[in-house]
Each structure stands twice: as structure tokens, then as C-alpha cells.
Structure 1
Amino acid sequence: MVASYFGSGSIYIASQAGVEYGYALIWAVVGAVLLGFMAQDMSARLGIFGDTLMGFIRKKIGKGPALLLALFLSLGCIAWTVALTAAVGMSFEILSGQALSWQPVAVVTGLVAILTGVLKYERVETFVTAMMFVLLVLYVVVAGASGPAPAEMAAGFLPTLPDSGAMLLGAAILGTTALWPNFFLESILVKKKGWTRDEDLSEVRHDLAFGYIVGGLITVCIIVVSAAVLRPAGYTELTSFITPGQALAEVLGEWAMVVFLIGVICAAFNSIVPIMWTVPYMILEALDAPQKEQDTRAFRAIYAGAILIGMSSPLVSAVTGLTIVQMVTLFPAINGVFGLPITAAFLFWAVNDKKTMGHRVNDWKLNAINVVLVLFATYVALSSARGVIRAIFGDMMG
């Protein structure tokens, strides 16, 4: 689930943070990791001691409204997959020297994701974990070769906001880390991991801490590389999909571009499976389907069907006129505007509901953190909605 938040959008947002503000927003990564950790910890406790998040929603608002909400949120997951398959496709096109076109590769990526996602949970977990370590090694190597400034890096851990643009970019970092599908998945998959008792909480937290540290380190490495290489080279924005790779190649050599693109492929593909697992889990939980149905044909059919729609990135690009960079950055933003505030509010309700949680409802400290999450999600939605909608539909109409 940590792998699901670190996708191609995270790479470009972190790269932009380094290009525009150097090391100044490293602190935002630390804050995002802590917020994401706490949100998933609450989701895990909900799953262990109370109910799944969608199960809670179904009981509170009814089966029909819960299904409508699940279908609405599923559209966000599909939009994510559109962006992710496009990112994988374009990375392969560039790596192959345009011998491969990104459109068919994007379709093949979706098919591979379908085959991967229907494997047993343990196999998927092993695969995703291995991909995360590949990402970590790749970006640590590039970050080390970029010759960062230690003193400036250290200063980046102290919260500062140079201007309003930095605030919005910091919010984007937080929004890509506190990923709403994880709130649903964590409450469901604790049972898959065998976490069902009080004694299991320490293992839950070790698991989350380990994953978030890896994801956070990768994000920091990308900011460091951008600050140490792209910013001094005169880059002020990422104008195309390949801009970060081209800049790295100019300074560090072609190997750095290859590493960058392999990293994009790993990050994007790694996100598809867990994000799209959310779709069948939400729908089946909303319908109150028996647990066994969630592990067999119904789950696999919904999962495969959703990805078949999501791998239509070539068609989406042709119809809307959106570039791949626009899809990679705008479609996650859609989820920040709609999915995150809705899910954060329901999570806050669930972990404070005595009928669901009993005596394990949130204490005031956890509620303070949860309130921050809800307020942040609302702020992101209100501040970003108009720009995101205009960017998408403006291109479609223009």
C-alpha cells in the first residue's frame, strides 16, 4: 500500500519541488510520511477492532448510497490507472529510442497488471516490495552521484514556505502521500496479514513505518537530485515527460536518464495493482458480498474490467488532447479534490464511532491528527478544484 502512493505523479511532483525550491520542501515529505502513517494506522485499527471502512459506510448510509459512492470513487482509481499506464508506455518509448510506440505499450501494461493483480496476496506483496527496493536503490545511486549540498539538505528539514507556490507544492506532496485508497485497503487487508488482535498492533506499525521510511527516502532522493542537478542547470519547470531525464543525462551521463525512466516504470506499475484492488473491494463491501466472493470470480472480474477501462490512456489522450505529463499530474489531483476529503471524513467518523470501535475509539491526540488530515483534505479540495477542472476540461474544449 505504501507502493501505491509512490507513482509517476510523485516523481514529477518531487522533481518540480526540487527545481523550484531546491531543498526547501524536504520537510513536507517528512510531514506527509507522518500523516500518511497515522491515517493508515487508524484504518488498520478500524479493520482490526471494528469494520472495514466501506463496511462502516454501508451500515451508516445504506447499501444503495454506499454503492454509488464506491462507483464514484472507482472513477478516480480508473483515472489514476489511465495516467500510470501512459507513464509506463512513454518511458518504454523513450528507452527504446522510439522503436516502440507508447500507446500499445500502455495497453500491454494494463494486461500485465491484470495478470499480476489476480495472483495470491503474498505473491503480489513480495513483487511490490521488491519493486520498491529497486526504486530505492536506483534513486539513492543517482542522488549520491548528483553531489548534493549537506548543509542545504539539513536546512530543508526545517519547515519554511518561501511563497504561496511553495505552499501549494507542499500540499501536492502531502496529497500524493496520504492516498485515500489506502484507507480502504488497510482496513480490509489487515485480515489477509493475520492481524486481528491487540498484540498485532505493534507489527502493524512496524510494517507501516518500514514502508513509509522507504517511500519517504525515495521522495527525498528525487528532491535532492532535482535541487542538485536540474535547478543549477537552469531548469525552472518540467516542460515535458523527458525533461528530468534529459537534464540528468546532460550533467551525469546517459546512465542517469536510463535510471530515471526505469524508476518511472517501476513506480507507475507498482501503483496500478493496489490502487485498482480498491475498486472491487469497495464495490463488493458496499454490496455486503460474503468474504469468499471477494477472493474469487467477482473480485477478479471487477478488477480486470476496471483496468481494461483504465488502460485506455491512448484513447483518452487522443480525445482530450492532454499530454502524458498533464495526465500524470492532473489525474492524481482529481483524487485529491474529490476522493481524499470524502474518505478522510468517513475515516474520522468511523474511528470515533463507539458502536463500531467500542472503547478503542480515537483519543484526543489521535483526533488532533485526524482533524489535521480532514482539514488538509478540505483545503486541498477547495484550493485546487477550480484549477484542476479548468486544466482538464479547458484542454478538452480547446
Structure 2
Amino acid sequence: MPKNQTGGTVATPVSERVATPHSTGTPASARLLWLLGPALVAGVAYLDPGNVASNMTAGARYGYLLVWVVVAANVMAWLIQYLSAKLGIVTGKSLPEILGERIRHPLSRRLYWLQAELVAMATDLAEIIGGAVALYLLFDVPLLLGGIITGTISMIVLTVQTKRGPRTFERVIISLMLIITVGFTAGVFFAPPDAAGVVAGLVPHFEGPDSVLLAASILGATIMPHAIYAHSALARDRFPQFQGTLPTRRLLWATKWDVSIAMLIAGTVNLAILLLAASALQGVEGTDTLQGAYAALQTTLGPAVATIFAVGLLASGLASTSVGAYAGAEIMHGLLHVRIPLLLRRLVTLIPALVILGSGFDPTEALVLSQVVLSFGIPFALIPLVWVSAQRGLLGEFRNRWFTTAAGVLCAVLLVTLNIVLLVLTFAG
């Protein structure tokens, strides 16, 4: 992994340091494909088991009510992930590294790290539990053992990142993403959603405090704080692997395509999960758990669809937990200037998930609650991202334009407002 720049306030422009296999004989489309990858890896965070639990529960309980939340979340996610990637490309530093330099007071920096670390642990919790549930559904493996197996396989994937570099890591994660996409969208073709219901679900509205809780859960599962931290680091690490040079604008143009493709896939899959639950599972008893949803899919659509769904869930847990561990390591390094081996971190963050799996706590409820925790961590990642990406002294000519900053501020205001409404409705009830 290449070392980061540690110079003055303004980093060396990426056009002077980024490399690529660029040649005049190579078609432009091929060169573009060669630059894709970081957003697809970060996008796996938008397809983790927490997304499955939140969207499946929302569809089973409320039908098409929260379709608008899934759509709005993915639109906001596009902007957020692009800003994160742009920050890493232009500055050569990740968001945690930049904040680690700018938060001067040691206590403030540690407190900020603590909330970011809790968010990363909540992410890891959801992903390990999801993988364990998938192994239980597919092979009747006990949940605790399934959590250990999921954690072990994720260590192998992280070893690939450590030993073979970011490009090989991307290939592994993107391959798992393809499995996830097939696994979570196949059922929609067997149980097509009601078009009128989908259109009605695009109109923003709620039905009581529980629907607000699920909306916050969907947002936390879609706009994941650790993905904001990770994407800047993935973009930072990715491009210096090539030979030759490319201007920064070319890289940012390719990044827009990268983010667009990743968010299109994530948005489609998340929407498909909710629509499948709304069309095939609404009103069916027990579908508010992953195990119950799997059983209902077996009954209503057949064992083949249910098995494909479980395979997608397994791939989701394996891929997203690897990206989550990568993000957690970057958060610690950037804010505390401490770097521990990825595999050691994997072992440490595995413990909370195994405790919950061994305690008998409902895994689906743990998944949904973990996504709510993520939702409350969004402002702590999003507000600093919008702030630093708008500064001329840091990004120079590539700083945010006024309307981009305005859009970022609007996203942050909406997310913070939803969390406040969630608190009021929850405790008032």
C-alpha cells in the first residue's frame, strides 16, 4: 500500500503523481474501464446484510410505503461518495487523515475517533451476523460457528488486499458483488411488484414511529459512514498503481462513472429487496426476521429462489465485512496515527458479533438496530466531508462549487432532522 503525502496544507496535484496504462492505441472505453473499481468496492457497503434486514422488514411490514426512502438515500449517496472519492484523488489523503491533521486538540480527536470506531463496529456487527444467518439457512450451521466462519473467510479476503494490492482486492469484492446482485434481485422476476403501489411509495410519507425507525435504518444502511471514510482511502490507494500520467479532471470524470455504476447497482438491489418483500411477504407472519423471510420465500416462490437469496446474503456478509475492516483500520490510522495489522483488527472487531450470536439475541433485530446506530453516525462523517471538500486551500480548483456544497448541506440537514424526529417519536411513544 502506497504511503500518503505528509507535506503542507495543499497536496501535490494528482495529475503530477497518478499513473495509468494510458496509450494512444487503447480505446477510450477500455481506458475508462481500467479506472473503475474504488466506488464498486465502497458500494458493497450499500449491499450489506443490514440493508437486507432493513429493506426486507420495511417491505414486509409496510409494503411500498418506504420506496421513496430507498430512492432518496441512493441519490444522496451518489453525491456523498463522489465527494469522498474526489477528496482522496485530489489530496492524496483519506478523510480520516485530513481530520486527524485538522482536529488539533488530542481529546477532541480521540472523541471523534471513538464515535467513528463505534460506527465501524456497528457495521461489522451487521455483516458478521448476516453471514452467520446465511450459513445457518444454507447449511444449518449454528449461528456462533457461522460467525466464526464468516470472520475467518473475511481474513482471507483481507490477506488478498494486504499481499496482492488494491486491484486484486477489487476483483474479489466485485465478483462477490455480482453474486449479491443476482441473489437479491432474482426473486422480483418471480413476484413482480404492483406498479401502482411502487408509484404511490415514491410520495414521501410515514405511518407512525415504527416506520420512521425503519426509514432511519434504511438511511443508515444505505448512506454508511464507514463507506464515506473508506472511499477516500480506496481512491487514494488505487491510482498510483499504474504507469504513465493522467490529468486530475480525467480521473474525476472516470470517478463519476465509477460512482454512478456502483450506486445504480446498489440502488437497484436495495429497491428489489424491498419490492420483493412488499409483493411476496407483506402480511405473512414471521417475515420480520431473515429466517422467517427465507422460510416465506421457500413457501411462496419455491426453494430455488430462497436458496439464491441466502447465497446473496452470504456473499453480502463476506464482501461487506472485508470492506468494513479496511475502513476501521483507516479510521484508526488517520485519527490516532496508529496502524495495526488488518488481520488483528479483524479478530478484535469479531468479538462483539460473536457475543451477540452466542447470547441468543434475535439476529435480525440486532441488524436493524445496528443500522440505526449507523444513521446517527452519518452527520459526523458527512458534515466534515462537505466542509473540507469546499476549501480552496485543500482542493484548489477542484473544491466544491457553491451548488455542490449546498446540496451536501441539504443532505446533512435532512439526515439530522430525521434522526431528531426519530428520537422524539420513539421516546414520546
Task: Please confirm whether the aligned pair reaches a TM-score higher than 0.5, indicating the same fold.
Answer: yes
1:182 maps onto 2:227 in alignment: yes
Match of 2:126 among 83, 86, 110: 83
1:5 maps onto 2:46 in alignment: yes
Deviation at 1:7, TM superposition (A): 0.9
Deviation at 1:52, TM superposition (A): 2.4
Q: Which amino acid aligns with 2:373?
A: I
1:146-202 CA-to-partner distances (Å, cap 9, x unmatched) read 13323433444x323152454443333222111111221222222333287122111
Using the size of structure 1 for normalisation, the TM-score is 0.85
**Structure 1 contact 70–279 (Cα < 8 Å) conserved:** no
Deviation at 1:342, TM superposition (A): 1.0
Give, in whole Å, the separation in 2 of the partners of 1:328 and 1:267: 13
Structure 1 residue aligned with 2:101? 59
Q: Which amino acid aligns with 1:269?
A: L
Structure 1 runs not aligned, ≥5 long:
290-297, 390-398
Structure 2 residue aligned with 1:46? 87
Structure 2 residue aligned with 1:396? none
1:111 maps onto 2:152 in alignment: yes
**Structure 2 contact 188–276 (Cα < 8 Å) conserved:** yes
Deviation at 1:380, TM superposition (A): 4.1
Give, in whole Å, the separation in 1 of the partners of 2:289 and 2:182: 25
Give, in whole Å, the separation in 1 of the partners of 2:406 and 2:418: 18
**Structure 1 contact 63–287 (Cα < 8 Å) conserved:** no
Match of 1:208 among 248, 259, 270: 259
1:382 maps onto 2:413 in alignment: no
**Structure 2 contact 53–289 (Cα < 8 Å) conserved:** no
Deviation at 1:28, TM superposition (A): 2.2
SS in 1 for 2:238: coil
Q: Which amino acid aligns with 2:77?
A: G
Structure 1 residue aligned with 2:239? 194
1:290-316 CA-to-partner distances (Å, cap 9, x unmatched) read xxxxxxxx45x1x22222123222323
Q: Which amino acid aligns with 2:148?
A: V
Deviation at 1:139, TM superposition (A): 2.7
Q: Which amino acid aligns with 2:401?
A: D
- Classify 1:12/1:387 alpha carbon distance in 2 versus 1 (closer, same or farther; 3 Å): farther
Match of 2:279 among 228, 233, 241: 228
Structure 2 runs not aligned, ≥5 long:
1-41, 241-246
Q: Which amino acid aligns with 1:279?
A: G
- CA RMSD, Structure 1 to Structure 2 (Å): 2.6
Give, in whole Å, the separation in 1 of the partners of 2:335 and 2:407: 27
- Classify 1:276/1:63 alpha carbon distance in 2 versus 1 (closer, same or farther; 3 Å): farther
**Structure 2 contact 217–368 (Cα < 8 Å) conserved:** no
Match of 1:240 among 286, 289, 294: 289
Match of 1:329 among 364, 368, 371: 368
Give, in whole Å, the separation in 2 of the partners of 1:148 and 1:95: 26
**Structure 2 contact 183–310 (Cα < 8 Å) conserved:** no
> Percent identity over the alignment?
19
**Structure 2 contact 186–305 (Cα < 8 Å) conserved:** no
Deviation at 1:220, TM superposition (A): 1.3
**Structure 1 contact 22–226 (Cα < 8 Å) conserved:** yes
Report how many aligned residue pairs link the two structures: 373
1:230-284 CA-to-partner distances (Å, cap 9, x unmatched) read 11xx237744331111111111112222122212111122210111111221222
Deviation larger for 220-229 or 81-90: 81-90
Give, in whole Å, the separation in 2 of the partners of 1:124 and 1:388: 41
1:203-249 CA-to-partner distances (Å, cap 9, x unmatched) read 00100110111111111111221111111xx2377443311111111
Structure 2 residue aligned with 1:32? 73
Give, in whole Å, the separation in 2 of the partners of 1:5 and 1:360: 27
- Classify 1:63/1:117 alpha carbon distance in 2 versus 1 (closer, same or farther; 3 Å): farther
Deviation at 1:24, TM superposition (A): 3.5
Give, in whole Å, the separation in 1 of the partners of 2:311 and 2:410: 35
Matches within 5 A, 1:302-381: 303-312=342-351, 313-318=353-358, 322-337=361-376, 339-381=377-419
